[in-house]
Amino acid sequence: MEDLRSNPLLWYKIHVFLYDLRHFQEEDSQARLDSVMDSSYLCLPYFTSEEASQLKTTKIQDTKNLGDIIEETLNERLERRMKKRIESGDFRVCAAHDLAPIFEKALNIKPKDLERDRVLLDLIKQSRLKPDDEQLKVWPGATKASRAVQTPGQTKRKGRC
Protein backbone atom coordinates (compact mmCIF):
# COMPACT_ATOMS: atom_id res chain seq x y z
CA MET A 1 0.00 0.00 0.00
CA GLU A 2 2.80 2.41 0.77
CA ASP A 3 4.05 2.00 -2.82
CA LEU A 4 0.71 3.30 -4.06
CA ARG A 5 0.74 6.23 -1.66
CA SER A 6 4.34 7.10 -2.52
CA ASN A 7 3.39 7.74 -6.16
CA PRO A 8 1.42 11.04 -6.03
CA LEU A 9 0.04 10.77 -9.57
CA LEU A 10 -1.13 7.18 -9.13
CA TRP A 11 -2.63 7.97 -5.72
CA TYR A 12 -4.45 10.93 -7.28
CA LYS A 13 -5.77 8.77 -10.16
CA ILE A 14 -7.07 6.26 -7.63
CA HIS A 15 -9.00 9.05 -5.93
CA VAL A 16 -10.42 10.30 -9.26
CA PHE A 17 -11.45 6.74 -10.06
CA LEU A 18 -13.26 6.37 -6.72
CA TYR A 19 -14.88 9.77 -7.14
CA ASP A 20 -16.16 8.75 -10.56
CA LEU A 21 -17.55 5.46 -9.27
CA ARG A 22 -19.56 7.36 -6.66
CA HIS A 23 -20.58 10.13 -9.10
CA PHE A 24 -21.16 8.18 -12.31
CA GLN A 25 -24.25 10.29 -13.02
CA GLU A 26 -22.03 13.36 -13.60
CA GLU A 27 -21.15 13.92 -17.25
CA ASP A 28 -17.35 13.87 -16.91
CA SER A 29 -17.38 10.87 -14.57
CA GLN A 30 -19.73 8.94 -16.82
CA ALA A 31 -17.62 9.67 -19.89
CA ARG A 32 -14.49 8.34 -18.19
CA LEU A 33 -16.27 5.25 -16.84
CA ASP A 34 -17.95 4.53 -20.18
CA SER A 35 -14.54 4.20 -21.82
CA VAL A 36 -13.38 1.47 -19.40
CA MET A 37 -12.81 -1.80 -21.25
CA ASP A 38 -11.60 -4.13 -18.47
CA SER A 39 -13.90 -6.05 -16.12
CA SER A 40 -11.73 -5.06 -13.15
CA TYR A 41 -12.09 -1.39 -14.14
CA LEU A 42 -8.33 -1.02 -13.62
CA CYS A 43 -7.39 0.25 -17.07
CA LEU A 44 -7.40 3.32 -19.28
CA PRO A 45 -8.46 6.08 -19.01
CA TYR A 46 -7.60 5.88 -15.32
CA PHE A 47 -4.52 3.71 -15.26
CA THR A 48 -1.77 2.71 -17.66
CA SER A 49 -1.17 -1.02 -18.07
CA GLU A 50 1.82 -0.73 -15.70
CA GLU A 51 -0.25 1.08 -13.07
CA ALA A 52 -3.10 -1.43 -13.43
CA SER A 53 -0.64 -4.28 -12.96
CA GLN A 54 0.80 -2.60 -9.88
CA LEU A 55 -2.68 -2.10 -8.45
CA LYS A 56 -3.79 -5.66 -9.16
CA THR A 57 -0.71 -7.13 -7.49
CA THR A 58 -0.84 -4.89 -4.42
CA LYS A 59 -1.16 -7.04 -1.30
CA ILE A 60 -4.31 -6.07 0.56
CA GLN A 61 -4.70 -9.02 2.88
CA ASP A 62 -2.04 -11.48 4.00
CA THR A 63 -2.64 -13.87 1.14
CA LYS A 64 -4.67 -11.82 -1.32
CA ASN A 65 -3.90 -9.04 -3.71
CA LEU A 66 -6.28 -6.39 -5.00
CA GLY A 67 -6.86 -8.21 -8.31
CA ASP A 68 -8.01 -11.36 -6.49
CA ILE A 69 -10.28 -9.40 -4.16
CA ILE A 70 -11.88 -7.54 -7.09
CA GLU A 71 -12.51 -10.76 -9.00
CA GLU A 72 -13.92 -12.65 -6.00
CA THR A 73 -16.15 -9.81 -4.87
CA LEU A 74 -17.50 -9.04 -8.33
CA ASN A 75 -18.25 -12.71 -8.97
CA GLU A 76 -20.06 -12.95 -5.65
CA ARG A 77 -22.10 -9.81 -6.34
CA LEU A 78 -22.94 -10.93 -9.88
CA GLU A 79 -24.17 -14.28 -8.61
CA ARG A 80 -26.44 -12.56 -6.09
CA ARG A 81 -27.58 -10.08 -8.72
CA MET A 82 -28.42 -12.88 -11.18
CA LYS A 83 -30.66 -14.54 -8.64
CA LYS A 84 -32.48 -11.29 -7.91
CA ARG A 85 -32.61 -9.87 -11.44
CA ILE A 86 -33.81 -12.77 -13.54
CA GLU A 87 -37.24 -11.20 -13.86
CA SER A 88 -36.02 -7.74 -14.81
CA GLY A 89 -33.14 -8.93 -16.99
CA ASP A 90 -30.92 -6.16 -15.57
CA PHE A 91 -27.63 -7.79 -14.58
CA ARG A 92 -25.45 -4.69 -14.71
CA VAL A 93 -23.00 -3.93 -11.95
CA CYS A 94 -23.66 -0.63 -10.17
CA ALA A 95 -20.59 1.59 -9.96
CA ALA A 96 -21.61 3.30 -6.73
CA HIS A 97 -23.04 0.29 -4.90
CA ASP A 98 -21.04 -2.65 -6.25
CA LEU A 99 -17.64 -1.37 -7.36
CA ALA A 100 -16.85 1.66 -5.20
CA PRO A 101 -17.07 -0.20 -1.85
CA ILE A 102 -14.65 -2.88 -3.06
CA PHE A 103 -11.96 -0.34 -3.89
CA GLU A 104 -12.67 1.95 -0.94
CA LYS A 105 -12.35 -0.88 1.55
CA ALA A 106 -9.29 -2.42 -0.08
CA LEU A 107 -7.46 0.92 -0.37
CA ASN A 108 -8.71 2.31 2.95
CA ILE A 109 -10.25 5.41 1.38
CA LYS A 110 -13.43 6.54 3.04
CA PRO A 111 -16.13 8.03 0.77
CA LYS A 112 -16.96 10.77 3.29
CA ASP A 113 -13.32 11.86 3.40
CA LEU A 114 -13.28 11.95 -0.39
CA GLU A 115 -16.39 14.12 -0.45
CA ARG A 116 -14.91 16.56 2.06
CA ASP A 117 -11.59 16.97 0.28
CA ARG A 118 -12.28 20.29 -1.47
CA VAL A 119 -8.74 20.58 -2.84
CA LEU A 120 -9.09 17.20 -4.52
CA LEU A 121 -12.55 17.96 -5.86
CA ASP A 122 -11.34 21.26 -7.35
CA LEU A 123 -8.32 19.50 -8.85
CA ILE A 124 -10.55 16.86 -10.46
CA LYS A 125 -12.68 19.57 -12.05
CA GLN A 126 -9.66 21.50 -13.30
CA SER A 127 -7.28 18.74 -14.35
CA ARG A 128 -9.37 15.59 -14.61
CA LEU A 129 -6.84 12.74 -14.90
CA LYS A 130 -3.90 14.85 -16.00
CA PRO A 131 -2.69 17.20 -13.28
CA ASP A 132 0.82 18.54 -13.60
CA ASP A 133 3.37 18.27 -10.79
CA GLU A 134 2.61 21.76 -9.53
CA GLN A 135 -1.11 21.05 -9.32
CA LEU A 136 -0.46 17.82 -7.44
CA LYS A 137 1.64 19.66 -4.87
CA VAL A 138 -1.41 21.60 -3.66
CA TRP A 139 -3.29 18.39 -2.83
CA PRO A 140 -2.30 17.22 0.68
CA GLY A 141 -3.31 13.66 -0.24
CA ALA A 142 -0.41 13.47 -2.69
CA THR A 143 2.11 13.80 0.11
CA LYS A 144 0.57 11.57 2.75
CA ALA A 145 2.89 8.89 4.00
CA SER A 146 0.50 7.04 6.25
CA ARG A 147 -3.11 6.63 7.30
CA ALA A 148 -2.44 8.74 10.39
CA VAL A 149 -2.38 11.91 8.29
CA GLN A 150 -5.80 13.49 7.95
CA THR A 151 -7.45 14.61 4.73
CA PRO A 152 -9.00 18.07 4.59
CA GLY A 153 -12.32 18.06 6.40
CA GLN A 154 -11.51 14.95 8.39
CA THR A 155 -11.67 15.42 12.15
CA LYS A 156 -9.42 13.64 14.57
CA ARG A 157 -11.25 11.21 16.83
CA LYS A 158 -9.93 10.53 20.30
CA GLY A 159 -9.30 6.97 21.27
CA ARG A 160 -9.63 5.55 17.75
CA CYS A 161 -7.10 4.51 15.15
Nearest to 151 by CA among 141, 138, 161: 141
pLDDT of res. 89 = 64
Phi/psi region, residue 129 (left: phi>0; alpha: psi -120 to 50; beta: rest), is alpha
For 102-112, letters b (16+ CB in 10 Å) and e give bbbebbebeee
* Cross-strand partners of 59: 65
pTM of the model: 0.81
Strand partners, 65: 59
pLDDT digits (tens, 9 = 90+) for 15-31: 999 999 999 999 999 99
Q: What is the pLDDT of residues 142-158, one digit of tens each?
A: 765 434 333 334 344 33
